[in-house]
Structure 1
Amino acid sequence: MATSSNRDHFFQTSTALDEQHRKDAKAQNSNGNPIKLPSKILAARADPWNPGSIYIAQSSGTVRRIVLETGETAALFKGPTAPVTSVCLSPNGKLLFAGCWDKTIWSWDVSSGQPHRQYEGHTDFVRSVTSVRFRGEDWLISGGADAQVLVFNINSGQRTETLKGHARGIQDLVVDPESESSQAIIFTAGSDREIRSFNLLGGDLSEPLLPHDTSVYKLFFDNDADLWTASADKTAKCLMREDGWKANLTLVHPDFVRDIVIYEPGGWVVTACRDEEVRVWNRSTGELHHTFSGHFEEVTGLVLVGSTVVSVGIDATIRQWSLRPDELQNAVELAQKGTPTEEDKPNTESMLTEEEERELAELMDE
């Protein structure tokens, strides 16, 4: 018997149909000069060795280096057969790493594109990866849905540390920029709403920070080494180092905040939201300055490339938004002249709870 994966061949609720029609209509927009790719984009990372390029992690199991000006794929890295959730480069830029749903971290030689080594040890999805040079060695750090942080020596491939403390999965991890000269400190964000810090060479350093009510998705250190956070509690916050990591600014959103970056020259905070929007906030006052609309699915990541913030999403597009003063002001003025149509507005009304809608969507996918 023939089978079909076409969604139109299956039962769908009227709410789901209306939402799909809205997305189909919105998908035609050209805001942010979209670069369209064949599968969902789950993460992005800037390429410091090739200005104007970024690496993206895709649900198809591939990693691409994209040239933003042309939209072309300059390099394609293959191997995984499961979604790739995160990417990073080695400290010398010669190796590319990707966390994967298959519980491993894949690596490739950047120049040749050939697979290098797989780093193993997680018992569930790998959600975040980063690297650091410390004491003359290059280290790979990964966080998984198994609530563990693993540390590997990149050259030998050996796992040197297994750091535990979180009760639920790790969502993100970053290296404290003020700790690298003396001791490498890793800050981690978890689904248990905790933010923890670990010494690269082992040990939980302090009691967890609890600035949010639920999952913390992203962490970002600004130039002052203060910590910015993005959470499923629909807020983004700035935690002040000199004030014992207390929040001195809270940015309230209508939906989950998936990523956050700070554009220092303009004094802007830029956030990515599950409601498909990219928002620009005044860092000093916390006021919303502008909303970039274009994505028609959840925005999953942000990358700063010069004076441009690049956003990626489940809609399989890469979009670019200028933060140059004149171009940003022009975008604000254009937005003030026109009002969004009903097709542009997400349909948030539903008789189902959020959990029920998620379960229904999973059943429909199956």
Structure 2
Amino acid sequence: MAELDGPQIGTSANNFFQSDRDIAIQERRATKQQNKDGDPIECTSKVLCMILPEKIDDLDYVYIGESGFIAKKINLSTKKTVKVFKGHTGPITCLGLWYKDGIEYLITGSWDKTLKKWDSKTKESLCTFSSHTDFVKSLTISHKTSTLFSGSSDKHIRSWNLLTGEPLKVFKRHTRGIEDLTFDEGETFLFSASSDGLVIKWNPLSGECLQIFEGHLTSVYALKIFEEEMWTASADMTVKRWDLYTGKSDMSLEHPDFVKCLAIRGPYVITGSRDESIRVFDIGSGKLIKVIDGHFDEVSCTATREKKLYTGSLDCTLRTWSLTDITSQEPQPKQTVQEETSSSMLTEEEERELEELMEAEDM
């Protein structure tokens, strides 16, 4: 039989309309799914975001946001879900915790274009913030001023009074969606990362654009402030370190695929990528220390506490890793791009189409 050129189409009843490459990816992921690395906690849908509580009696818990329109509080020791927050009509993409008068409030942002404030103890939805005109993708909180800041695919950042729910200001400068928001350690300046490839430093009270950080070639998905430095993760397959005063990048850590999230812990920067891997780099030398391959889909979020690393993924699992173990290994060889990885990014139109498909599945 003559050899055929190009991708082949599966011929079994279960594989119609799938290429051999697609089938190989599914089989590889099915095999990888059986691994128990990171002591996985199985979730009901894709894990999109997470946040660790600050209260002493809640240190063994984590909040996660899922693609299935819900947020959860999970006991990390028992792996049991202890609370479920329902009310959004789209995937929950970002989380925040606000503490006032001894009460903990959970803040959630969603593709349904709204944010909600919940009493984390009673699960009661107390307030809905609804001025955005497109997906809410990021949020951060000023505890000094009790102000919520949210970023959206509508290209705008909005601020809200957390006590009254009143909208305050609209921050306009980015030309595409706002992927991440954070404050410096003193909550003096607000920083935003966007799919327009820029990071902007703002006066959070006046809304004035103070500084623009340029250097990434495309979407910036995540940013962290650590002491006098800023770290950013991008779809250009790099993580960059920036001097907050000069606005210049002095380190670039290369990856084989989009970098979706990052965490800073001591002398290490830890990244999560679309290629399913977690990477640990030594900040001082920039060397790759360890590659962790426990997940079998995109790593969407990371968080650290004491000697633990927590990672969430589109594979519907939450995993826990010992920082002592993963930072005590020999440097790893440079990674190459996995064959099945696509080089395209979702446009705003594609995101809307995905939302419609998800809604259709629930009908």
Normalised by the length of structure 1, the TM-score is 0.85
Matched residue, 1:37: 43
1:217/1:229 contact within 8 Å kept: yes
* Change in 2 beyond 3 A, CA 1:346/1:32: farther
* Change in 2 beyond 3 A, CA 1:83/1:349: closer
2:41/2:319 contact within 8 Å kept: yes
Structure 1: tracts of 5 or more residues without a match: 1-6, 340-344
CA RMSD of superposed structures (Å): 2.7
Greater than 6 Å deviation, 4+ residue runs: 361-366
SS at 1:19 equivalent:
helix
* Change in 2 beyond 3 A, CA 1:237/1:14: same
Matched residue, 2:207: 203
> How far is the alpha carbon of 1:76 from its aligned partner?
1.2
Q: How does 1:18-37 map to 2 (within 5 A)?
A: 18-37=24-43
* Change in 2 beyond 3 A, CA 1:283/1:21: same
Matched residue, 2:9: none
Cα displacement string for residues 60-119 of structure 1 (whole angstroms, at most 9, x for unaligned residues): 111011121221112111111211101101143521111111100022111111111100
Matched residue, 1:251: 253
CA distance in 1, matches of 2:197, 2:337: 27
Cα displacement string for residues 153-211 of structure 1 (whole angstroms, at most 9, x for unaligned residues): 01111001011100010000001223x3xxx3210000100111222222333242112
Q: How does 1:199-348 map to 2 (within 5 A)?
A: 199-222=203-226, 224-242=227-245, 244-264=246-266, 267-324=267-324, 327-328=325-326, 332=329, 347-348=338-339
Q: Share of identical aligned residues, percent?
A: 33
SS at 1:86 equivalent:
strand
CA distance in 2, matches of 1:98, 1:208: 28
SS at 1:90 equivalent:
strand
2:15/2:23 contact within 8 Å kept: no
Which deviates further from its counterpart, 277-286 or 10-19?
10-19
2:134/2:153 contact within 8 Å kept: yes
> How far is the alpha carbon of 1:329 from its aligned partner?
6.0
CA distance in 2, matches of 1:88, 1:364: 27
CA distance in 1, matches of 2:67, 2:147: 26
SS at 1:121 equivalent:
coil
> How far is the alpha carbon of 1:349 from its aligned partner?
5.3
Matched residue, 1:97: 107
The amino acid that maps onto 1:33 is: D
Q: How does 1:59-208 map to 2 (within 5 A)?
A: 59-92=67-100, 94-134=104-144, 137-178=145-186, 180=187, 184-208=188-212
> How far is the alpha carbon of 1:8 from its aligned partner?
4.0
> How far is the alpha carbon of 1:276 from its aligned partner?
0.4
CA distance in 1, matches of 2:50, 2:292: 18
> How far is the alpha carbon of 1:355 from its aligned partner?
6.6
CA distance in 1, matches of 2:259, 2:218: 11
CA distance in 2, matches of 1:271, 1:355: 19
Q: How does 1:345-356 map to 2 (within 5 A)?
A: 347-348=338-339, 354=344
2:275/2:338 contact within 8 Å kept: no
Cα displacement string for residues 10-38 of structure 1 (whole angstroms, at most 9, x for unaligned residues): 52222111111111110000111111111
